[in-house]
Every structure is written in structure tokens, then in C-alpha cells.
Amino acid sequence: MSSTTTMTSQPPELRPRDSLVQLDLESALRLQVLTRNADLPVLPGTAVEALRLVRDPRVRTDDLLAVVELDPPLAARILAVANSSYYARGNAIRSLRQAVVRLGLHALRDVIYMAIYASTLFDAPGLIDVVRETFDHSVIVARFAQRLAPHVGIDDETAFLAGLLHDVGRARCCKVLSKLPQARGQSRDVLVPLIDRYHEAAGAALALAWNLPTEVADACEHHHAPCTPLATLIAAADAVAYALEQPPRASIEALELATQRVGLSAAEAIEIFEPLRAELSARVSALP
């Protein structure tokens, strides 16, 4: 999620006491995220192996199933995502094997990425709404980026992964803040600006810790000031996601700037993404 405050409006004015609390929280968050790399969620061994397999173009379905079946919570989450309205289209998927047959390996790979994200990062008591919003937004950006990737000569799998993870640092910041006693009971007006400010660095560190491609980590770090082709693509997908939301959260100027960088007009980009608009309003319902 790009920072809404930077797109459309200034953050709300805080009361003096809230400003002091925010300063205190900021130094704690900065320390944890930038210097101690605290709360870098560790991937379970099965997820590491599943991620390795799904990136292997020669992977055999049976090998992938054998790994995922070793981790029942992950397997359950994969089934939940596979049964979301986007993938299941009204037909219940009851087993992993059925998911493979129904979805195909390509879509299953995306489902596994989403399941690993959801099962690893939904751990921020008090801020779970922010994590959920971030996840929903990220799935939409991932799909937009995947759709747009061939137009700009980028591999669609990498585009999907970068879109899904571009704001993963927000979930990590939420996790860190949820453990700070001084954050307890604080309003979103106090906490969200801090999450906005540190999510890029927090996400890049997480992507590197998970051994994801460097370009994906770069997209996490630079999607608000893009300086690589992939980060530029993600910035465009991010802007379109915001422009298609109701009410829109990206200004038309932000949208035009972002889409021009990938060689499209704002209108062309919206035309490409319009078929996905229904999903934006329906959201992605495969979450905890």
C-alpha cells in the first residue's frame, strides 16, 4: 500500500501529547527495523522448500504436493486461497490435488505465495486491520503488475511476487509496533504515519531475509520513488489500484505520472485493469 498520506493529503494534525508518543514510538520502530532487524518473520522449512520449488520451471506437481502436505496449516491456507471467489469461481476445491488440477501450476504458485504471506505475517494484535488492508491491496497490485508486465518486458511471475510483497514491510512494522507497550491503545492517526515511513526499508530487509530475488527487494525499497524497471512497474500498478478504489485514493496526477513511466496513459492503464475492478470491490476473501 502506498502511503495514502503522500498521495492525496497531509496527515491529520496530532495533539501535542500524541506527537510525543509518536516520536517515542518512531525511535523504537526505527531501532528495531533498521538496526536490529527484529521480528523478521522466519519462514517455516516447508515454506522455504515450497518457494524454492515454485520458482523451478521444471517442478513436478507431486514434489510440490509432497512438501506442502507436510505443513497442515499452510496446506489449509492454500486451500482457503484456492477457494476464494477469484480462483474457485463457485466450485469448491476440497484437496490440494484438486487445487493443482483446477488451478494449474502457474496459478497454484501464486496461491502458495499468498498463503505463505498470510500464514506468516498475520500476527499483529491491535493492528490486524492494517495488515489485512495491506494484504488485500497487495493482492490487487500483484494482479495488476502481472497483467501489465508483458507490456513492459518484465517476467509476469516476478511482477506478481513484487506486487504481492511491495508493502510487506507494513505488515512487519505492524508486528513490531504491536509488541511495543507504548503503542498499545494508540490511534491509527499516531501509528499509520510511522508504518508509512518505515515500510519500504522494513520490506526490503524481509525480502532479502527470505532469499527472494534482489530485484523484488529493490521494488519493496523503492516503489514510492522508483529507480528500477520492476519498481516502476509496481509504482504504476500501485497507483492504478488506488485510482480504481472507491473512493479513489490516488490523484489523477499521481496516476498519470506513474503510468507514463511504463509507457501508458492513465486511460490505457485503467482499460487494461478495468476487468479487475469487480474484484477490487469484492476484495479477496481468503484471509484469517
Q: Does 250 bind Fe ion (CB under 5 A)?
A: no
Contact predicate 64/53, CB 8 Å: yes
Q: Does 196 bind Fe ion (CB under 5 A)?
A: no
In the complex, least distance from residue 199 CB atom to Fe ion, rounded to whole angstroms: 6
Q: Does 131 bind Fe ion (CB under 5 A)?
A: no
Q: Does 233 bind Fe ion (CB under 5 A)?
A: no
> Alpha carbon of 266 to those of 238, 241, 277: distances in Å?
12, 12, 15
In the complex, least distance from residue 196 CB atom to Fe ion, rounded to whole angstroms: 8
Q: How many CB atoms are closer than 10 A to CB 55? A: 14
What is the 3-class SS of 77-136, one letter each residue?
Answer: HHHHHHCCHHHHCCCCCCCHHHHHHHHHHHHHHHHHHHHHHHHHHCCCCCCHHHHHHHHH
In the complex, least distance from residue 163 CB atom to Fe ion, rounded to whole angstroms: 9
Compute how many residues bind Fe ion; rule: CB under 5 A. 4
Q: Does 146 bind Fe ion (CB under 5 A)?
A: no
In the complex, least distance from residue 231 CB atom to Fe ion, rounded to whole angstroms: 11
In the complex, least distance from residue 87 CB atom to Fe ion, rounded to whole angstroms: 22
Burial of 91 (0-12, 13-18, 19+ CB in 10 A): exposed
Binder among 2, 22, 146, 158 for Fe ion (CB under 5 A): 2
CA dist., res. 29 & res. 146, Å (int)? 32
Query: Could you tell me which stretch among 52-60, 143-151, 153-161, 231-239 binds Fe ion (CB under 5 A)?
Result: 231-239
Binder among 49, 110, 167, 218 for Fe ion (CB under 5 A): 167
**Judged by CB, which is closer to Fe ion: 74, or 162?**
162
Burial of 282 (0-12, 13-18, 19+ CB in 10 A): exposed
Binder among 238, 240, 244, 256 for Fe ion (CB under 5 A): 238
CA dist., res. 208 & res. 204, Å (int)? 6
Helix, strand, coil percentages in the chain from 3-state DSSP, rounded to 5: 70, 0, 30
| 27-66 positions binding Fe ion, by CB under 5 A | none
Q: For residue 285, which amino acid is it?
A: S
**Lookup result for grid cell 500476527:** 123
In the complex, least distance from residue 46 CB atom to Fe ion, rounded to whole angstroms: 28
Q: Does 1 bind Fe ion (CB under 5 A)?
A: yes
**Judged by CB, which is closer to Fe ion: 2, or 158?**
2
Q: For residue 23, which amino acid is it?
A: L
Query: Could you tell me which stretch among 36-44, 115-123, 167-175, 214-222 binds Fe ion (CB under 5 A)?
Result: 167-175
In the complex, least distance from residue 141 CB atom to Fe ion, rounded to whole angstroms: 6
Q: Does 256 bind Fe ion (CB under 5 A)?
A: no
Could you list the residues that contact Fe ion (CB under 5 A)?
1-2, 167, 238
